[in-house]
Structure 1
């Protein structure tokens, strides 16, 4: 076995607060790790009703654990029990833990302040009849967050954070593999087969942005996919994952319209074969998005472009009928451009026609964002292969 390989028996355990993470970030992280041939375990795999002892066994079987710490993490006694078990394994030098501070200030975690600390004090009161258990939680919460970890704040978006986590885990697993090989060749080494992993100078390595790496790749042949979306609302999370998945499938994706002049944006749309319109509540707040929509609608009517509308956290009828938050933002945009009657009319007509008689996808009809991204990729790939 080459030292660069990751042995399949090296399991990575992911510890997280389910309700908060499962529907989006976790799915993308697990997929990326499995694509990297990492043997990853989450409690999703366990049969429902499995007792905590079985999960403790899963932690004992693992070489690396990822603790995804979020504001609501300390709402779960289950998460805290897992964290305490992880600390026990660290103390025995049998486990490496990488903390991930997900939409959480690392200092709030370390000091038990903010929502993270408030939720912990609620658990402390709830389990005051089990002081030893609570003390183990406290010890773990003092110890593990002190380790150098990764934060969403230190990355451009969630897909970049996912990429960093995968690369750091691979680095740790390869380091463990190398040390085990060295130990097997040196029987005088009394530390056993597992040697505690430390990053050089106690710092987690930084990695180049995933999206920048993808952008440096040579242009792919047609078809080109154009994404129209509200950057402020979905650009740093859902769309970043979608772009990653589309490019991973070999598709040429254009997303940077917000950085260009309008005529340059229109040229990019004209060069595209497929347009994905990600309708979200704030989409109608942007005249750039609405103008993109009109251009996409025109080319679609001329048979030059295939359109897939995607409804993200809103219903199709809210777009068609200009209702809800989407309708409120559209009314504000109309008022802002009240003198541009023809432009407003073109917006209204395109919003009506683009949502009629087309196959569309919505977050509402999928389990989570990960499933929606997979459905979009399948749809675009089918169009590519027509």
Structure 2
């Protein structure tokens, strides 16, 4: 008898099999969800049959430090991402105690695992695995240390709730779903964000950025929230690009780790372009760094940029470099200089500035075209 499943759970290694993955698997079952989890005792072709892939509605790859060590897991991920691209299958990744940047950049355990596979497998096969790993990093998922301060029980509850909600939505007749989708998109257009916050790392996410976000929202400002559960399963690059394009004000929080992220640098370059073409305001916060360090690319900013220079093309590097220099020369706030580093005072000043700009639409109008 053929069994159909709602969810495909992909995981590997002792770092998840008997812990987080097992907890998630049993929690999904307890919620009445039919879950298929891989069994490395079976050949991959026997596990992921065309019928199974056709019926599965959601795939949850749990990307852990040991995930890429398993050729079985990499084959699963390749098939999952292929179905996502060709058939629109939903993918909700969990990045379990890993840096997403390490996955795409082949660093740490991921670099070592792929190096080992290159010695045993065909070049084409390894290339497909690398593409699958890169593709899954572009989808918004859950980053385990960032969720509920690393409390895995709370993370599991969030995953189960999201999966259950998505399966309920899929069960709605197509006509009703289309009507709902139309009004949802209309509502999102009417309530598009006014402010985009850009930051990098736990040194800002859990203190200044969180406090600033809640303070802006309390002041009635619509702020793009990259932790919005609605973004799970979506192309995060596309969603962030749209948010930057729509907002009137961008606030990059330039901490010592900001330039370590190519995504943050790409966001910053887009902010600068929107400032030039649309008059979008950029209000930088130099968080425990000097603006001069950003402008002249000294200290960690220069070190990180040198690393990027070896990995990206010349035009991309130059865009990022120009963006850092331009924002570094902009008028903003140096956190250490605001009331002896009291962040509450800094947040109050930023909220007042943002509220004032939004109440004066003329300050946010696009620049007039130059007359030759």
Give the TM-score of the pair, scaled to structure 2. Answer: 0.44
Give the TM-score of the pair, scaled to structure 1. Answer: 0.43
**Bigger Rg over Cα:** 1
